[in-house]
Amino acid sequence: MSQSYILSFITWLPAVGAILILALMKKDQSSLIKKFATAWFGLDFLASLWLLKYNRSVGGMQFLEDHEWIPIIGARYQMGVDGVAVLLIVLTTLLGAIAALSSWEYIQKREKEYYVLLLLLQTAVIGVFASMDLFLFYLFFEVSLVPMYFLIGIWGGENRLYAAIKFFLYTLVGSVVMLLGVLKMYFLTQDTALTSQISQATINLLAGNEQAAQLVSNSLQAAATNGTGTFNILYMQAMGSVLPMGTMQVLLFAAFALGFAIKVPMFPFHTWLPDAHVEAPTAGSVILAGILLKLGTYGFYRFNLPMFPGASKDQSYFGTFGVRSVIVFLAIVSIIYGALAAMYFVVKKDGDVKKLVAYSSVSSMGMVMLGLFALNPNGVNGGVLQMINHGIYSGALFLLVGIIYERRHTRNVAEFGGLSHVMPGYAAIFLGMVMTAIGLPLLAVFISEFLALRGAFEANPYWAAWAALGIILNAGYFLWLYQRMFFGNIDNPKNERLTDLNWREWTYMVPLMILSLWIGVYPKPFLRFIEQPVNAVVKQVRPDYQIPGMQTPAPTQAERAGR
Amino acid sequence: MFLLQANTTSIINVADLQLIAPELILTACACVALVMEVVLPYRKSKLTAYFSLVGVALAFVSLAMQWWTMRQALPLDGFYGMVRIDGFALLFKAIFLIAAALAIGISTRFLDIEGEQHGEYYALVLFATVGMMFMACGYDLISLYISLELMALTFYVLVAFTKREKKSNEAAMKYFLLGAFSSGVLLYGMSLLYGIAGSTNVGEIANSVGQIVPRIQGLLQAPAEAATSIDQPIVGLRPLLLLAMIALGAGLFFKVAAVPFHMWAPDVYQGAPTSVTAFLSTGSKAASFALYLRIFSEALEGMRADWAPLLGLVAAITIMVGNWAAVTQENSKRLLAYSSISNAGYLLLGLVAANLYGYIGLIIYLFVYTLMNMGAFGVIISLRRRGIIGDNVDDLTGLGQKAPLMAAMMAIYMLSLGGLPMTGGFIGKYFLFGGLIQRGAAEQKSWYYWLAGWAILNTVVSFYYYVRFIKVMYLGDRIADNKPLALSPALQTALVVSVIGVIVVGVFPQPVIKIAQDLLSAIVS
């Protein structure tokens, strides 16, 4: 198996940058530090563009890397990405560069520490998407909390200490419970009664290509030599096909799901999000909404669906309802509740725009979850694409809120009105992003919501109906917000002398706008990245589901029984 | 007859002495240190510290040589079964020696500040270490008890070492009274065990307990046969066995500061000189766990079904009480005392699991715990100045800007105490929880899973107060004061060594786990 080092390079490059800043630059050289850090983020983004060479017709896990790490517990340093992870990594590096660029004026104290932490956060997050070893994944997943804690806690708003510790502990609860699930899965890979039933066809289906399948067998070989289990994610996914459905699988599903649901965040685990967003600095919000929330939905896509197919499609475990019903119910509640809560902040006297965007994220991420648990190619494609789109538009909206906050030092909706007269460029971009968010055709979110809803409709028309209600509410409050902030006369004298976007702000807003248009008008290149991996996951969860045009045959029942 | 025996076997032979070479070296060094104190003038008494460090290093070298030459032949018995060198003994001794070295490293500066730089201090530390080491390799109730008392007595003195401080005296008094009481309870348990088993040797006790318990079980299950069986009298032994187990357990719960015998810990930890607190919370705790292993996992192995739920319950309560009580503390020594209570609970999980994973977890967690706790106390010492105590959490305010390196190290210790991945604390907890899950799967009992879940949820609580240190160090813009830290080369070295240890175990734990697993797998199977 040939090794590729590009993933390690992209992952660790930001950390190297952080060390360089720590070692070479002094505290008072803030202008040098911010330029260096931004350039470094840009470098990482350029490097990540290499991943777009991902062979879409082959699919599966590519850019593989495999090194010995802690053989005695079966953990290896394995990296690899499928199309979904490729898109998420490129989104991460893009938003990272944008976040750094947007912080130049917003951050006025302790710049050195700030950019170091931003770079470290970048490493942790890319590591999460690139890991193919569960142990490694868990490390990155949990370590990513620490830089974010500092970003909120040092550079946040007035109530930052509370928000920082709330964010930290809340998300920690989920990930520590997940650790038990990780351990149990690891011990299950040593359970020969179970693993002997795994068919090579399942592994091939999930790996997607020969090299990835080879990687799995290499890991197994290494595990056998050392007498350990393995943490290889593909192998654990394959184990899902033979894991008996029962209390154990449901509990394992729950252990993983809790960790991810808090990250997503799904109702009722969302309460940390508004606090964290309101207090975080702009760049922190951008990374939080754009990237960190995706760790949760990515986790569902990568772990819960393929590793616990029995529980994922279960509709009867609790009698009249099942695990899937619970998740879908929570997803729909998130969609509607998020929208209603956001609407409240338009109406409220001192409604905070940032809080509004935060709640709209809850709603939007609910759509991702609904798409994923529709368990058909349309739904999952829609869910995955919605992750990317949400990263683009919510990141952009937080940036826009940050821009006005830098000028006015308030985010109160009631303070604004008639901004389109003084800041036409700003108003135009804001309009573009609001239209994206409410799913206007020819803009990105339309495609993903359409796909997700179509998937949900296929699964159960009522789900789609309820979710559509959420979309209507979404459109309602976003348009209302836009009207209150930008139309009418300038009734607040403080708004009369606001300056429009400067070159730096244009530089980071325009790429996001272009991306939104591109995905909206011609989503095919993006969908082709995720098509094959998504089909594989659907096939893994529902082996009997007929996917048109899918070549890789799933193992037949006879084949499974024969082994 | 006796004469004949005396002629053919000598009481002491060279092979036996080799088994306790590290202890002999330390004892000799401690005696020399006592003399040095008398000979050297006061201002040179720091030489004693460096001499003691050399002694610890020599003992470590001889321990390493033992490991290298004997690891294939383990276990080795000596002194007619009084001493046994096995994997546990070697690993624990290594931890004690590291703890002693770090304790001496952080003590020099502390004693200077306090104006109590006396050579006896280092001699006492060495004697305590000798006691711990014999606790790890004793294989007889007598030798175990004597070494326990050697350690405890020296600690009573050490806790009172800053004799001009009222708090220190009070702490020593409390520790002494409660310690003596708990030793009595322990001794009571030992005497019962001797009465039942007819021997003080751990191996022989294990044999007889292993035989008696199944027979009692059989009789209890078939009462009809039992009435006529000649075995009938031994059924009466069961209450005695349980009483012995509970007495032993209670004595040891006190030593490791597990709930409900934890009350002394916060007062003693706060009152004792900080360097002694550091040593007490690491070395003494590790030694008590060595004793636990000997008595529960070996002597009482046959009663696992009885003591596993007991220890599990105590662990669950200890973890909760320790963590929740720490949340409200303002004094950092007191806070770390509660944290060490909760950590005793986590360490008990390794005993409850009692499989390879659990034991590896116990050893690695103790090792890392020694490093991170020593480091944390070292940072607290560095804040101390004459007149300023420096041991409130708030005294760390703004350390991130005043002394970035120091603050970064403290942050790493704290995150490691909580168990964040990429630090040694995570690897330790990983194995402890893994052991529980494995045991639960092996015995088909769900309470092991719930215990693991309970323990792991409580780590979130622990993060709340560990992160508080980080909060005051970094998140504020205020700086407590601009006076320089009280650093010394020995203190800095100790801090850097601990932080490197914590990170290396966190990121590349392979060698440490490998050594532990090789030494332990022989015992578990």
Compute how many other C-beta atoms are within 10 angstroms of the C-beta atom of residue B500: 13
Contact A373, A324 (CB under 8 A): yes
Confidence band, pLDDT 50/70/90 cuts, at residue A558: very low
Q: Cβ contacts (< 8 Å) between B471 and chain A: which residues? A: 153, 161, 164-165
CA distances from B15 to B24, B67, B70 (A): 13, 15, 12
pLDDT value at position B488? Answer: 84
Taking the Cβ of residue B289 and every Cβ of chain A, the question of whether any pair is shorter than 8 Å is answered with no
φ and ψ at residue B388, rounded to 5 degrees = -110, 130
> Among residues B63, B36, B39, which one has the least CA distance to residue B129?
B63
Q: Which two tokens stand for residue A378?
A: 């349309």
DSSP count for chain A of H helices, then E strands: 27, 2
| B189: Cα separation from own chain's centroid | 21
Range list of H helices, A318-443 = 323-347, 353-372, 377-408, 419-422, 424-437
Q: Cβ contacts (< 8 Å) between A179 and chain B: which residues? A: 430, 433, 456
pLDDT value at position A447? Answer: 93
Q: Cβ contacts (< 8 Å) between A187 and chain B: which residues? A: 434, 437-438, 441
Confidence band, pLDDT 50/70/90 cuts, at residue A549: low
Angle at A356 between CA A353 and CA A362, to 5 degrees: 150
A165 contacts B510? CB cut-off 8 A? no
Residue of chain A whose Cα is closest to the Cα of B448: A180
**Cα separation, A455 vs A370, whole angstroms:** 9
Does the model's pTM come out above 0.90? yes
The 3-state DSSP class for residue B471 equals: helix
**Cα separation, A230 vs B439, whole angstroms:** 19
Size of interface A-B (CB pairs under 8 A): 78
Name residue A67's beta-bridge partners.
A77
Q: Cβ contacts (< 8 Å) between A164 and chain B: which residues? A: 471, 475
A179 contacts B460? CB cut-off 8 A? no
Name residue A131's beta-bridge partners.
A79
Burial class (CB in 10 A: 0-12, 13-18, 19+), A392: buried
Contact A124, A16 (CB under 8 A): no
Q: Cβ contacts (< 8 Å) between B438 and chain A: which residues? A: 187
State the nearest Cα–Cα gap between A392 and chain B, in angstroms.
30
pLDDT tens digits for range A209-257:
888 999 999 999 999 998 888 999 999 999 988 988 888 999 999 999 9
Contact A294, A364 (CB under 8 A): no
**Cα separation, A483 vs A448, whole angstroms:** 26
Contact B299, B192 (CB under 8 A): no
A72 contacts B513? CB cut-off 8 A? yes
Enumerate chain A positions whose Cβ falls within 8 A of a Cβ in B.
69-73, 109-110, 113, 138-139, 142-143, 146, 149-150, 153-154, 160-161, 164-165, 168-169, 172-173, 176-177, 179-180, 183-184, 186-187
Which residues 428-457 of B have a C-beta within 8 angstroms of A?
A: 430, 433-434, 437-438, 441, 449, 452-453, 456-457
Residue A414, pLDDT > 80, answer yes
Q: What is the 3-state secondary structure (H, E, C) of B498-517?
A: HHHHHHHHHHCCHHHHHHHH
* Dihedral sign (CA A51, A53, A58, A63): negative
A180 contacts B452? CB cut-off 8 A? yes
Please give chain B's pLDDT, 525 residues, in tens: 444 454 556 667 888 888 899 999 999 999 999 998 888 887 888 889 999 999 999 999 999 999 998 888 878 888 888 899 988 999 999 999 999 999 999 998 888 888 888 888 999 999 999 999 999 999 999 999 999 999 999 999 999 998 888 889 999 999 999 999 999 999 999 999 999 888 999 999 999 998 888 888 888 787 666 666 666 777 778 888 999 999 999 999 999 999 889 989 999 999 999 999 999 999 999 999 999 999 998 889 888 888 999 999 999 999 999 999 999 998 889 999 999 999 999 999 999 998 999 999 999 999 999 999 999 999 988 887 765 666 788 888 888 888 888 999 999 999 999 999 999 999 999 999 999 999 999 988 889 999 999 999 999 999 999 999 999 898 877 777 777 777 888 889 999 999 999 999 999 999 999 999 988 888 876
**Cα separation, A304 vs A311, whole angstroms:** 9
The 3-state DSSP class for residue A189 equals: coil
Can you tell me the mean pLDDT for A418-424? 88
Please give the single-letter amino acid code of residue A277.
H
Q: Which two tokens stand for residue A545?
A: 């589901």
Residue of chain A whose Cα is closest to the Cα of B478: A154
B456 contacts A187? CB cut-off 8 A? no
B467 contacts A184? CB cut-off 8 A? no
Q: What is the mean pLDDT of chain A?
A: 90
- Strand A62-70 relative to strand B83-85: parallel, antiparallel, unpaired? unpaired
Q: Cβ contacts (< 8 Å) between B401 and chain A: which residues? A: 110
Residue of chain A whose Cα is closest to the Cα of B437: A184
Residue of chain B whose Cα is closest to the Cα of A140: B421
pLDDT tens digits for range A483-494:
988 888 888 888
**Cα separation, B355 vs B432, whole angstroms:** 10
Residue A552, pLDDT > 70, answer no
State the nearest Cα–Cα gap between A156 and chain B, in angstroms.
10
Taking the Cβ of residue B471 and every Cβ of chain A, the question of whether any pair is shorter than 8 Å is answered with yes
Q: Cβ contacts (< 8 Å) between A183 and chain B: which residues? A: 430, 433-434, 437
B430 contacts A173? CB cut-off 8 A? no
Residue of chain B whose Cα is closest to the Cα of A226: B514
Mutate to test the interface with A, among B475, B503, B507, B521 (most CBs of A within 10 A): B475
pLDDT tens digits for range A3-29:
889 999 999 999 999 999 999 988 888
B510 contacts A169? CB cut-off 8 A? no
Residue of chain A whose Cα is closest to the Cα of B454: A177
Residue A553, pLDDT > 90, answer no
**Cα separation, A60 vs A537, whole angstroms:** 11
**Cα separation, A506 vs B97, whole angstroms:** 62
pLDDT tens digits for range A459-501:
999 999 999 999 999 999 999 999 988 888 888 888 888 888 8
A138 contacts B421? CB cut-off 8 A? yes
φ and ψ at residue B201, rounded to 5 degrees = -80, 130
Determine if residue A548 is left, alpha or beta; phi over 0 gives left, psi from -120 to 50 gives alpha, anything else beta: beta
Q: Which of A73, A109, A176 sits opposite B457 (nearest CB)?
A: A176
Q: Cβ contacts (< 8 Å) between A149 and chain B: which residues? A: 467
Give buried/exposed letters for A238-249 (b at 16+ CB in 10 A, else e): bbbbbbebeebb
* Dihedral sign (CA B118, B124, B125, B127): positive
Q: Cβ contacts (< 8 Å) between B421 and chain A: which residues? A: 138-139, 142-143
Residue A553: asked if its preceding bond is cis (omega within 30°), the reply is no
Mutate to test the interface with A, among B448, B450, B471 (most CBs of A within 10 A): B471
A73 contacts B475? CB cut-off 8 A? no
Burial class (CB in 10 A: 0-12, 13-18, 19+), B239: exposed
Residue A560, pLDDT > 60, answer no
Residue A557, pLDDT > 60, answer no
pLDDT value at position A520? Answer: 93
Q: What is the ipTM of this complex?
A: 0.92
DSSP count for chain B of H helices, then E strands: 23, 2
